[in-house]
Structure 1
């Protein structure tokens, strides 16, 4: 069973997801600063740069969005030319087009944009021009995958594309069809709004934090939703009723005690533990988590663990335990980009396979795709993980104004 715990105040909404008592996701949304990932805009091309095969598009934000050529060409690979054309042949300054934000602006960089539009629903993802059907690999049986694939083919029109999500497994055709019709209606509304508006203009805003998390990870018949805010409870209850089957009456619990909800339910303690640089694991081993702009480096150490009968057994046990924790923490911290894990050296190939298998099993629970690249020549495990929104740690902690996040202060600086 999962617990979705939501704490609201006038400045911020915070959400923690516990799965069988373990903290697996944390997200925060500031009232004054709404994210734009997933939003649709009518934009105007400002600059086209053939040298980097990209264009900058004004979408009404502080910085122009970045549109790469792969996000301009038709998303269906069979229809893409073998040799990419010059982006200047596809776009020109002043051109108006519908774009969707795939990655939030960060630092000096504007938002990453695409014309490969997608609208996520409860049971499926609708793509108006993708021209293919896909079924989640996490659907358990081939028979169910075939059912969903045939259903998707029946529901789509012309060049529409559909991805049937894992939660669609076992769901009734009617519910999935209604989801499809709703998403198609939203797309038609976006098109109509684009005809009416002058750029730059927002055409469609993605769901807020609470509704988005309910849509993506919450099962009304099995999970608990707890919040300390009656208004948030009303929003959640209304959204749950829209996405739930008619015979299910979702229950939203309102927390009314004096002690803050995160403290009372142990979330604050878990956050404090899981967002440290040095994270102790069961048995006395630990990992060290270092973040840079380009990549994340994670170091595994035996610490106080003296464990198995042989050195290889001790090391392998430590690495497997670390792999399981790292997979959970990647999801919790929403770490993206290149990730390098320095496991303790193992002599046997079977031990390395066991560590990767342990990592993959936990990563299956993560909605964000992680690709395990493999072991480098130096024995490091390399991964990549997608990221669309600002990293969770930026909401959980503020960068120190003295050391600026390095953890070091020059010895010649005096108090």
Structure 2
């Protein structure tokens, strides 16, 4: 089935959203009611510094703990506005940042970072000028800035202005609550259906009727995530296996015995790796054991990896090659791993 389809449904009572591209599962968002959603904003209270790490443990409501890096100048007992950046590993504090963003489909309001900017993905200078004119029609909170997202290209000016106004009003209300002495939840993180509306902005058909996952073949593709095996072109394949310390990726040429088999398999793996990690909710340290190839081909694999991850919504850094010929990546932990929950979600 050609084209893009966004399917909004539930999995065992948990809200979920799937993005299908030409009939293939391209992205997957699944809620977890037991976890704090990334993007949630809290008024936290500084608890105790971690001097060796340069961070601070913070108190959240209901006895939850958060960890803030780069906590220089903060003192215990001090209230602080923070935003959740990802999910906590078992037994660890929730990761947060003091750089709070108010994000919608078209606009991001940035308290403490003044200036009005347009996404670099919008290249047309006339369009950039039009969008900046629209942005100046809406007042921002004092000291706040604005980023107009790539979805603004060609969008209705009233919709853009409405998004800016909504985020500006929310920022004003939240920052006004920042100095009270007790921890409090101020803004809930976006649900999968809201995230799908906010971030999957390319034209697509939206399926909202219950049971859409079964009708659109989403369920069978989610079930396939229980296997680490990922088929690639020309008979090549890779295995993705998460461990406690890192995510291991093993690339194999399959039945191809041609001289360029290793390079072809590694390029195919580079192109598909962002999608494979995204669907499985995997982040942190990623180590790729490439199929055998000469060192002269590493630049081609580097270029393919950078191009692939540039289009990925999750921040990933290409660290480099190890002496053993492995590629190391560092990927933001913004999603929960799917595999530990898969059995209960599909029950």
The structure in which a higher percent of residues are strand is 2
- 1:388 to 1:181, Cα distance in 2 relative to 1, 3 A: same
Partner of 2:214: 263
Take 1:154 and 1:384, find their aligned partners in 2: how far apart are those partners? 40
- 1:283 to 1:21, Cα distance in 2 relative to 1, 3 A: same
Partner of 2:22: 20
Partner of 2:191: 208
- 1:9 to 1:352, Cα distance in 2 relative to 1, 3 A: closer
SS in 2 for 1:344: coil
- 1:275 to 1:38, Cα distance in 2 relative to 1, 3 A: same
Task: Measure how far apart 1:185 and its partner are.
Answer: 0.2
- 1:391 to 1:154, Cα distance in 2 relative to 1, 3 A: farther
Please list, as runs of the form range in 1=range in 2, the aligned pairs for 1:66-77 lying within 5 A after superposition: 66-69=67-70, 72=71
Task: Measure how far apart 1:134 and its partner are.
Answer: 4.6
Task: Measure how far apart 1:291 and its partner are.
Answer: 1.0
Q: Answer with 1 or 2: which has the greater Rg.
A: 1
Partner of 2:204: 223
Asked whether the equivalents of residues 328 and 362 of structure 1 are also in contact (C-alpha less than 8 Å), the reply is: no
Provide structure 2 residue ranges, at least 5 long, that are not aligned to the other structure: none
SS in 1 for 2:85: strand
SS in 1 for 2:61: coil
- 1:143 to 1:337, Cα distance in 2 relative to 1, 3 A: farther
- 1:202 to 1:380, Cα distance in 2 relative to 1, 3 A: same
Task: Measure how far apart 1:172 and its partner are.
Answer: 4.3
Asked whether the equivalents of residues 42 and 98 of structure 1 are also in contact (C-alpha less than 8 Å), the reply is: yes
Take 1:319 and 1:137, find their aligned partners in 2: how far apart are those partners? 30
TM-score by length of 2: 0.86
Partner of 1:29: 31
Take 1:153 and 1:381, find their aligned partners in 2: how far apart are those partners? 45
Matched, 1:104 2:76: no
Could you tell me which of 1, 4, 12 is aligned with 1:2? Answer: 4
Could you tell me which of 323, 328, 342 is aligned with 2:289? Answer: 342
Take 1:22 and 1:149, find their aligned partners in 2: how far apart are those partners? 37
Greater mean alpha carbon deviation, residues 6-15 or residues 115-124 = 6-15
- 1:36 to 1:295, Cα distance in 2 relative to 1, 3 A: same
- 1:11 to 1:38, Cα distance in 2 relative to 1, 3 A: same
Take 1:61 and 1:305, find their aligned partners in 2: how far apart are those partners? 56
Task: Measure how far apart 1:262 and its partner are.
Answer: 2.7
Could you tell me which of 249, 255, 264 is aligned with 1:298? Answer: 249
Partner of 2:167: 183
- 1:394 to 1:119, Cα distance in 2 relative to 1, 3 A: farther
Asked whether the equivalents of residues 44 and 95 of structure 1 are also in contact (C-alpha less than 8 Å), the reply is: yes
- 1:382 to 1:208, Cα distance in 2 relative to 1, 3 A: same
CA deviation profile, 1:174-217 (whole Å, cap 9, x unmatched): 4333222110100112134446x651211111222211221111
Asked whether the equivalents of residues 25 and 333 of structure 1 are also in contact (C-alpha less than 8 Å), the reply is: no
Task: Measure how far apart 1:300 and its partner are.
Answer: 0.5
Task: Measure how far apart 1:58 and its partner are.
Answer: 0.9
- 1:385 to 1:284, Cα distance in 2 relative to 1, 3 A: same
Take 1:25 and 1:54, find their aligned partners in 2: how far apart are those partners? 33
Matched, 1:333 2:273: no
Asked whether the equivalents of residues 137 and 161 of structure 2 are also in contact (C-alpha less than 8 Å), the reply is: no
Task: Measure how far apart 1:140 and its partner are.
Answer: 4.2
Take 1:318 and 1:9, find their aligned partners in 2: how far apart are those partners? 34
CA deviation profile, 1:109-167 (whole Å, cap 9, x unmatched): 11112221111111121111123455434334466456656766786565222222221
Provide structure 1 residue ranges, at least 5 long, that are not aligned to the other structure: 73-86, 228-253, 399-415
Partner of 1:278: 229
- 1:176 to 1:6, Cα distance in 2 relative to 1, 3 A: closer
- 1:218 to 1:136, Cα distance in 2 relative to 1, 3 A: closer
Take 2:10 and 2:46, find their aligned partners in 1: how far apart are those partners? 39
Task: Measure how far apart 1:107 and its partner are.
Answer: 0.7
Of structures 1 and 2, the one with the larger relative CO (CA 8 A, separation 6+) is 2
Task: Measure how far apart 1:391 and its partner are.
Answer: 2.5
Please list, as runs of the form range in 1=range in 2, the aligned pairs for 1:81-230 lying within 5 A after superposition: 87=72, 90-141=73-124, 144=127, 148=131, 158-194=142-178, 199-219=182-202, 222-227=203-208
Asked whether the equivalents of residues 223 and 342 of structure 2 are also in contact (C-alpha less than 8 Å), the reply is: no
Please list, as runs of the form range in 1=range in 2, the aligned pairs for 1:39-50 lying within 5 A after superposition: 39-50=40-51
Partner of 2:325: 379
